[in-house]
């Protein structure tokens, strides 16, 4: 997706604050359809997002055909109180032309943003949890468009395509590794499947996005 930071600016129009101490915070499990808290942000065309049934569960399906749009859930969260993000996802395949090191290849079958806004917008930072095309699993790499957007290869390659996989990330630890300092407040969590640079097609599914508070990890 082109122009990573200008796109992030569109994500941060308003926010909902959450108090600590209320147990796991479910961003969405899609069991009642798509929550109205999600906002569509389109950058080129529109990725089709809809809730579908998969093995008895309601899940979010994303279908991108040369498009780039995301779903954004605006929040106001202290990551030290809610440090762990969990979710599960599945892809039909990765993008053969995708390349994390190239602007022309900056497309992903599945990714989840955690956005840390700053009043001086060039200092806004994001963690991009991606199902990588080529970047080895576990690698961190600055986005081809901006050093303030860190790509984290949670999964990589097509070998596990078609399988539901559960993920668990320590947001605070990932931020420290990515940027060498403590994180600011989280302003939004976003989902995006995009293929605008390569013109390819990507199909992915997302489910059960949950933030876990301190001392509440199972």
pLDDT 10s per residue in the chain (218 long)?
554 544 444 444 444 444 444 579 999 999 999 999 999 999 899 999 999 999 999 999 999 999 999 999 999 999 999 999 999 999 999 999 999 999 999 999 999 999 999 878 778 999 999 999 999 999 999 998 899 999 999 999 999 999 999 999 999 999 999 999 999 999 999 999 999 999 999 999 999 999 999 864 44
Provide CB contacts within 8 A for 136, sequence distance 6+: 153, 156
Please, are residues 188 and 74 in contact by the beta-carbon 8 Å criterion? yes
What values do phi and psi take at 26, rounded to 5?
-85, 110
Phi-psi region of 55 (alpha: psi -120 to 50; beta: other; left: phi over 0): left
Task: Tell me the backbone φ, ψ of residue 5, rounded to 5 degrees.
Answer: -70, -45
User: pTM to 2 decimals?
Assistant: 0.89
Sign of the CA dihedral running 27, 157, 150, 103: negative
């Amino acid at each position: 997706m082109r122009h990573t930071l200008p796109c992030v600016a569109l994500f941060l129009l308003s926010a909902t604050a959450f108090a600590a101490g209320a147990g796991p915070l479910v961003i969405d499990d899609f069991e009642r359809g798509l929550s109205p808290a999600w906002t569509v942000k389109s950058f080129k065309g529109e990725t089709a997002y809809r809730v579908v049934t998969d093995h008895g569960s309601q899940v979010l399906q994303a279908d991108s055909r040369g498009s780039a749009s995301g779903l954004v859930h605006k929040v106001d969260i202290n990551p030290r109180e809610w440090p762990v993000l969990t979710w599960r996802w599945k892809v039909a395949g990765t993008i053969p032309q995708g390349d994390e090191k190239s602007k022309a290849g900056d497309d992903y079958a599945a990714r989840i943003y955690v956005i840390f806004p700053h009043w001086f917008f060039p200092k806004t930072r994001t963690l991009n949890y991606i199902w990588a095309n080529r970047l080895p699993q576990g690698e961190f790499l600055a986005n081809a468009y901006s050093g303030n957007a860190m790509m984290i290869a949670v999964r990589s390659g097509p070998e596990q395509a078609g399988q539901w996989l559960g993920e668990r990330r320590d947001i605070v630890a990932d931020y420290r590794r990515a940027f060498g300092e403590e994180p600011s407040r989280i302003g939004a969590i976003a989902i995006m499947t995009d293929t605008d640079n390569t013109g390819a097609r990507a199909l992915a599914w997302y489910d059960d996005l949950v933030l876990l508070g301190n001392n509440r990890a199972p």
